[in-house]
Amino acid sequence: MTGFWAKCLFRISVLIALLSVPARASATEDAARLALIIGNASYGTVSALDNPANDARMISKTLEGLGFTVTLAVDLGQIEMKRTIAQFGRDLRAAGTEATGLFYYAGHGVQSFGNNYLLPVDVALSDAADLDLMAVEAQSVLRQMASARNRTNLVILDACRNNPFENVPDLNESGLAEMKAPTGTFLAYATAPGSVALDGQEQNSPFTEALVEQIVVPGQPIEQAFKEVRRAVLAQSGGQQTPWDTSSLVSDFMFAQAPPSPILTAAETEELQLWRSVSAARDPVQLMLFLRGYPDGRFAQEARDLLAEVMAEELSVGSSAPTKPSPAPATPDEAETALFKAAQEDGSLAAYEAYLQSYPAGTYAEIATSEIAALKVGESTDPIGEGVESARVAPSPQPGALPRQPEAGPVTFASPLVSDLSEISGLSLAEIIEQAPMFPPVEGLPESYWKTQNCSACHQWTRARLCTQANTYLSLNMQRSLSKQHPFGGVLKRSLKSWAAGGCQ
């Protein structure tokens, strides 16, 4: 093994090792998730509710399964509510700035003078002026959460059922008012501001029931989750209840993280890497070879679609844009030539792929891609190495007839060739490369993309490029390519080899 090739293999092995190291989990994935869940149902002096305690328990259990540290409190009086909220604020501040805080409340809630109040179970009110003394202002929860200066806070209020103080003067507004929250906060309401939500005829409210179904969906952003909640509640309530949300979040949030990407096998990784290279190049020849190697692969349909798109672009008629002349083929540098020769000497799939990774658009890229395709489909060929196309393009010789061979002397660019294919026999290399394909290069490709087109348009053949390719057939390691059938029969590759042996005259 040459020193140059050894260095290349070392660089490749280091790259593979680096790619195989799992990425560190982000700080937010390891950050604390704290939730305070309050459900008030057993009111003493106002109408009791059926479902808030059930809703609180259900949402609590669901959040615990999603990695939240949950504090669950049911049927709290005012003092207990304020103490519990204050403790939640202390816990959130201690959790650090990367923590996520979530406050959920189910129960009675009212608004007065644009402020929202959550009602403890021991509330007793005869005058609207006493509301802030008897209830818990919702804004106090936001103040506690904002004091933690953490990245993400979520407030969910299923508290717009009915106004238990409709007979109290100056306290006859329905539902809750829309609140303003600090940056980094997501606010969700069971129904639109000023509207009344349904308590539900089953054990849970329609809003919380839909919420629990959506927050467990892996990889679903919070905005999409609440959009789905809104759709579900609208459908269940016949359009009577529209859940509402407002956001000032500055980072992405998902209740349930997306599942990790599946671990690919070596063959799947190889296919993926080759597809990325081929799709980026948008070269029809590479796409055709890719499809021959992976006719039923996971990217086969994408490859067919991209091939059709690329061919349509190249073969479009009537475009007003001037045609750009094809750039002259660049002379390969010594490093590229050395790497390609090393790949030929090695003859393995990894060696040719190593060349393509370093020179995806290099002088020998088309040849390397062809070799890769040949190596991958080797198992599907017959014992003497003839490709599956041979049966379609090379007619069987008549019984007793001797096979016709190319002329014995060195082939020139203009000398006529001898072939079993009448369409090819008598033509020179210069003429053959201007011929149209005899069958679709890729199964299922529409005739309009290939039938009347010449091969040099697809391969971008020039005499200089063709000579470069022909010279590769002089190598003993390229005999495999010579045995692979071509749409023009085996005569083309054998003649190219003979032409190169004579100095491409």
| Radius of gyration from C-alpha coordinates of the chain | 36
Condensed to tens digits (0 to 9), the pLDDT of residues 405-437 reads: 444 457 888 888 877 777 777 888 888 777 777
State the residue for tokens 């008030």.
40
pLDDT at 9: 47
| Assigned token pair, 371 | 């070799």
pLDDT at 244: 92
Q: State the virtual CA torsion across 243, 247, 249, 254 in degrees, nearest 10.
A: 10
Condensed to tens digits (0 to 9), the pLDDT of residues 476-494 reads: 445 555 554 555 556 677 7
State the residue for tokens 């007839």.
401
Contacts 24+ apart (CB under 8 A), 266-275: 268/298, 270/349, 270/353, 271/297, 271/298, 271/299, 272/299, 273/353, 273/357, 274/353, 274/356, 274/372, 275/299, 275/302, 275/303
Rounded average pLDDT over 345-363: 75
Say which residue, 437 or 268, is predicted with more confidence: 268
Residue 211 corresponds to which amino acid?
Answer: L
Rounded average pLDDT over 158-168: 75
pLDDT tier for residue 164 given thresholds of 50, 70 and 90: confident
Condensed to tens digits (0 to 9), the pLDDT of residues 289-328 reads: 788 788 888 898 998 888 888 877 766 644 444 444 444 4
Rounded average pLDDT over 89-101: 96
Model confidence, pTM: 0.52
Q: Check pLDDT > 80 for residue 117.
A: yes
116 in Cβ contact with 132 (< 8 Å)? no
pLDDT at 326: 44
d(CA 371, CA 352): 7
Highest mean pLDDT among 7-16, 246-255, 261-270, 330-339: 246-255
Q: How many percent of the chain have pLDDT more than 90?
A: 32
Task: Find, among 87, 222, 84, the residue nearest to 153 by Cα.
Answer: 222
Rounded average pLDDT over 334-350: 73
Say which residue, 261 or 301, is predicted with more confidence: 301
pLDDT tier for residue 260 given thresholds of 50, 70 and 90: confident
Q: State the virtual CA torsion across 449, 455, 458, 459 in degrees, nearest 10.
A: 160
Q: Which 3-state string (H, E, C) describes 212-277? A: HHHHCCCCCEHHHHHHHHHHHHHHHCCCCCCCEEEECCCCCCECCCCCCCCCCCHHHHHHHHHHHH
Residue 68 corresponds to which amino acid?
Answer: F
State the residue for tokens 């008012």.
177
State the residue for tokens 């750039």.
327
35 in Cβ contact with 104 (< 8 Å)? yes
Q: Which 3-state string (H, E, C) describes 377-422? A: CHHHCCCCCCCCCHHHHCCCCCCCCCCCCCCCCCCCCCCCCCCCCC
Arithmetic mean of pLDDT over the chain: 77
Q: Check pLDDT > 70 for residue 18.
A: no
Condensed to tens digits (0 to 9), the pLDDT of residues 44-87 reads: 888 889 899 999 999 999 999 999 999 999 999 999 999 999 99
d(CA 158, CA 408): 91
Q: Check pLDDT > 90 for residue 361.
A: no
Say which residue, 94 or 472, is predicted with more confidence: 94
Task: Find, among 283, 265, 269, 303, the residue nearest to 369 by Cα.
Answer: 283
Rounded average pLDDT over 174-191: 89
Rounded average pLDDT over 166-179: 76
